[in-house]
């Protein structure tokens, strides 16, 4: 390396060091700091072997995270409750690859396409990481000529978005979707989606929630009735979509100034989108002569009427609200749209940050998309679909915060028995006992040390919530017995070695009965 070059790099290192120090002094976001530290380390690496020994940048990619065992335990619990509900409704599951041909994703996400992760061109096909599970599902249906399926899929999707990890917004995150595909009678599958969201949110005990409902055809009818030119339906719809985070006046400004809508037209829309209700609102709108001249409004309202009626039969009418301000961002919806929000939930990290704290309560969303599968079929054959996606990352964040608040410890293992020896040279005896317990499927551990200390072994049981210890020593061997210790109560009793499996089974049964009756 030329001296001149080295000097330039050393200067750059000095400057970059200054940036990092300043960020740290200003207590900037952790993510931002790591990014600048990474740049610094890269510069240092350029100096080569004669500089400090090469340092690895020990981090995960921006906007991604590891899950530790505690987080995995929460995640498993959430997934199990959601999957239970999906299975109660007769759903089956599929899986698709994490990447798709780039062109499969092209033209499906509008201006969000810039957020798609592409794979490098290493020869062969052009590939992109999936952006959601809906487009791969539609590709799957068209490719396999499937016209009827009720499927759920839980998998990670990828978006090169600005991460806001404290609020549960990541670049790699789980989606948890259920979709019902098939040509059926109006609103029957649509109502079942509402029922499932309601059941899931109740089961997860996240507090009070509301499932907002609206209909794309009704929105189109309203736009037409108010005098929006048809070409502006989608842009105006995406302005309405911001109403959960933005005050009406700002949305109105976007409509009139950015999108050139006549202010009177915007005001007319403003009157509609503040309406909320249930069957009363359906009736009110059905008496709106101007609106009823729009065929799509008539159709949308008929659907909404049926949907609310079915929700009542399914016992989930109390949780739903027919809300004309709900619009949803995605272009591909063609009928009913859903969004579930937790009432009054403000995430801890967002306190004092008004703009961002609104809308964080959204924990599920979806709608009907009757045209998407047809985009993949050579003959354009349509398969009507309706579905919802549960926002599990946000739910994980809430559950973690709740758990932290209660100071409860989650077990990350399910070990039932720990085999302990108080004396030296008992490793072989411990191994024999473990083998017997494992062979009858009792969850068992013992120390990986040859001569572990007694107290360390008890401590291990307490730290890991293991309920029972089996203790073996010289005198137990001679007498053909073992000691059984209950970790919680520290009670110990002697059990005969020849029937120790049965004794332990009885004890485990008692413990599980106690846990149920608590």
Please check whether residue 204 is in contact with residue 196, taking contact to mean a CB–CB distance below 8 angstroms.
Answer: no
Residue 278 makes CB contacts below 8 A (sequence gap 6+) with 308, 317, 320, 321, 322
In the complex, least distance from residue 385 CB atom to a copy of itself, rounded to whole angstroms: 12
Using CB under 8 A, pick the residue from 315, 453, 456, 496 that binds a copy of itself.
315
Identify residues 17-46 at the interface with a copy of itself (CB under 8 A): 38
Using CB under 8 A, pick the residue from 46, 89, 259, 505 that binds a copy of itself.
89
Q: 154 or 219: whose CB is closer to a copy of itself?
A: 154
Q: 93 or 479: whose CB is closer to a copy of itself?
A: 93
Using CB under 8 A, pick the residue from 143, 401, 477, 510 that binds a copy of itself.
143
Using CB under 8 A, pick the residue from 67, 290, 424, 488 that binds a copy of itself.
67
Q: b vs e for 65-94, b when ≥16 Cβ sit within 10 Å of the residue's Cβ? A: eeeeeebebbbeebbebbbebbeeeebeeb
Establish if 346 lies at the interface with a copy of itself (CB under 8 A). Answer: no
Task: Single out the segment in contact with a copy of itself by CB under 8 A; choices: 135-143, 206-214, 237-245, 355-363.
Answer: 135-143
In the complex, least distance from residue 402 CB atom to a copy of itself, rounded to whole angstroms: 21
Q: What are phi and psi of 336, to 5 degrees?
A: -60, 145
Task: Single out the segment in contact with a copy of itself by CB under 8 A; choices: 349-357, 364-372, 427-435, 482-490.
Answer: 427-435
Task: Single out the segment in contact with a copy of itself by CB under 8 A; choices: 23-31, 183-191, 255-263, 273-281.
Answer: 183-191
Using CB under 8 A, pick the residue from 50, 66, 514, 518 that binds a copy of itself.
66
> ∠231-238-259 over CA atoms, to 5°?
55
Q: Give me 432's structure tokens.
A: 């024999």
> Nearest-CA neighbor of 32 among 40, 20, 46, 50?
20
Using CB under 8 A, pick the residue from 16, 134, 444, 457 that binds a copy of itself.
444
Residue matched to tokens 């008496």? 287
In the complex, least distance from residue 17 CB atom to a copy of itself, rounded to whole angstroms: 17
**Angle between the N-to-C axes of helices 69-88 and 188-203, in degrees from 0 to 180, rounded to the nearest 10:** 140
Using CB under 8 A, pick the residue from 101, 454, 477, 510 that binds a copy of itself.
101
Establish if 445 lies at the interface with a copy of itself (CB under 8 A). Answer: yes
Establish if 477 lies at the interface with a copy of itself (CB under 8 A). Answer: no
Establish if 49 lies at the interface with a copy of itself (CB under 8 A). Answer: no
Identify residues 451-470 at the interface with a copy of itself (CB under 8 A): 464
Establish if 434 lies at the interface with a copy of itself (CB under 8 A). Answer: yes
Using CB under 8 A, pick the residue from 1, 8, 119, 401 that binds a copy of itself.
119
Please check whether residue 182 is in contact with residue 261, taking contact to mean a CB–CB distance below 8 angstroms.
Answer: no
Measured CA distances, 332 to 247, 302, 371, 375 (Å)? 25, 21, 7, 11
166, HSE (Cβ side, Cα atoms, 13 Å): 12
Q: How far apart are CA 96 and CA 182, in angstroms?
A: 20
Site size with a copy of itself, rule: CB under 8 A: 93
Q: How far apart are CA 450 and CA 457, in angstroms?
A: 12
């Amino acid at each position: 390396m030329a001296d001149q070059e080295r000097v330039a790099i050393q200067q750059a290192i000095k400057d970059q060091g200054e940036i990092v120090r300043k960020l740290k002094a200003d207590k900037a976001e952790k993510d931002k700091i790591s990014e600048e530290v990474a740049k610094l380390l890269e510069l240092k690496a350029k100096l080569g072997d004669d500089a400090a020994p090469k340092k690895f940048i020990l981090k995960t990619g921006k906007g991604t995270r590891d899950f530790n065992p505690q987080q995995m335990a929460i995640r498993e619990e959430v997934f199990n409750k959601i999957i239970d509900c999906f299975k109660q409704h007769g759903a089956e599951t599929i899986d698709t690859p994490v990447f798709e041909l780039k062109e499969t994703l092209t033209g499906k996400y509008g201006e969000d396409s810039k957020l798609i992760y592409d794979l490098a061109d290493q020869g062969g096909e052009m590939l992109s990481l999936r952006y959601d599970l809906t487009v791969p599902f539609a590709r799957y249906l068209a490719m396999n000529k499937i016209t009827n399926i009720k499927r759920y899929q839980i998998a990670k999707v990828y978006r090169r978005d600005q991460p806001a990890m404290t609020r549960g917004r990541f670049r790699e995150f789980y989606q948890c979707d259920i979709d019902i595909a098939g040509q059926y009678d109006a609103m029957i599958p649509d109502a079942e989606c509402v029922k499932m969201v309601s059941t899931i949110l109740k089961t997860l005990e996240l507090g009070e929630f509301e499932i907002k409902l609206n209909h794309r055809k009704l929105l189109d009818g309203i736009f037409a009735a108010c005098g929006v030119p048809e070409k502006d339906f989608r842009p105006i719809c995406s302005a309405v979509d911001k109403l959960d985070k933005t005050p009406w006046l700002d949305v109105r400004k976007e409509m009139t100034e950015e999108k050139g809508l006549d202010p009177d037209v915007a005001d007319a829309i403003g009157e509609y989108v503040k309406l909320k209700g249930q069957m009363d609102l359906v009736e009110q709108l059905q008496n709106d002569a101007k609106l009823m001249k729009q065929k799509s409004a008539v159709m949308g309202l008929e659907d909404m009427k049926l949907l609310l009626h079915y929700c009542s039969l399914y016992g989930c009418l109390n949780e739903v609200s027919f809300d004309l301000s709900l619009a949803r961002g995605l272009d591909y919806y063609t009928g009913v749209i859903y969004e579930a929000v937790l009432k009054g939930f403000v995430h801890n990290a967002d306190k004092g940050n008004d703009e961002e704290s609104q809308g964080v309560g959204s924990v599920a969303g979806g709608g009907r998309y009757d045209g998407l599968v047809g985009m993949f079929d050579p003959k354009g054959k349509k398969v009507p679909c309706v579905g919802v996606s549960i926002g599990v990352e946000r739910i994980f964040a809430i559950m973690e915060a709740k758990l932290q608040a209660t100071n409860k410890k989650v077990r990350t293992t399910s070990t039932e028995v720990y085999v302990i020896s108080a004396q030296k040279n008992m490793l072989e005896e411990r191994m024999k006992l473990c083998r017997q317990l494992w062979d009858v499927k009792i969850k068992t551990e013992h120390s990986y040390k040859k001569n572990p200390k007694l107290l360390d072994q008890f401590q291990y049981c307490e730290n890991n919530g293991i309920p029972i210890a089996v203790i073996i020593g010289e005198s137990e061997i001679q007498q053909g017995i073992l000691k059984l210790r209950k970790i919680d109560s520290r009670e110990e009793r002697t059990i005969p070695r020849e029937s120790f499996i049965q004794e332990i089974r009885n004890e485990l049964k008692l413990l599980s009965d106690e846990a149920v009756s608590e």
